[in-house]
Amino acid sequence: MTGREKLLVLIALVTVGWGFGYYWWYEPAGQSLKKMEEQIITYETVLSSEQGKEVPAQLQSYHTRQQEQAEQVPGPRAVVALLEQLNIWAEQTGIRLTRFGLEKESRSAEALPYQTYKLIVSGKFTEILAFIKQLEASKRLLTLEEVIIFNPPAYPEVEAVPLSPSIGARAEAEKVRAEIYFSTGIDD
């Protein structure tokens, strides 16, 4: 065998070896890689379509929470709505609103600005308590600051003083006067 024939046999063996390697090792690995790439594309498509569905749902949830919180902190025009709601509650409980006004306003830099209102009501003791319960159960963010209930005006010449426990039973049947102080946040 000549050197040239040996070289041709060697080239043929390398070519056959490369062919076996290609078909048994490289080709299956390439096909496996191609399948993985197709799966990645499929997963990315599914993921993007699922994320597209979740984002509007999350956005809607965010808007709902924001609206609920906005209802709790009244805006500049919400005082009129608050007064209307107080009138409705007064009618439902049977008391009479005699005065409603702004007592003080706080615009602290580190806290939410708020306004404190003074509300004077008259009615039976139990009716006033029912009104206070409705005030506390409001959706709006309210803080009940103080409630002062005065003796019934049985003796007009005597100055009204805060209600004492000894006349509580009598006051339950008679009309009493109460000053209710509450505060609510404001949104500029």
Q: Give pLDDT tens digits for 93-137.
A: 999 988 888 877 766 656 667 788 898 998 888 899 899 998 888
3-class DSSP state of 147? strand
pLDDT of 178 higher than 70? yes
Domain final position from 24, 53, 71: 71
Phi, psi of 126 (to 5 degrees): -70, -35
Whole-number pLDDT of residue 40? 85
94 and 36 in one domain? Answer: no
pLDDT of 188 higher than 80? no
Domain final position from 38, 71, 104: 71
32 and 5 in one domain? Answer: yes
178 and 92 in one domain? Answer: yes
Whole-number mean pLDDT of the chain?
Answer: 76
Q: Structural domain tally of the chain?
A: 2
Q: Rounded to whole angstroms, how far apart are CA atoms 183 and 188? A: 16
Q: Rounded to whole angstroms, how far apart are CA atoms 149 and 139? A: 25
Domain final position from 27, 52, 71: 71
Higher local confidence (pLDDT), 49 or 72: 49
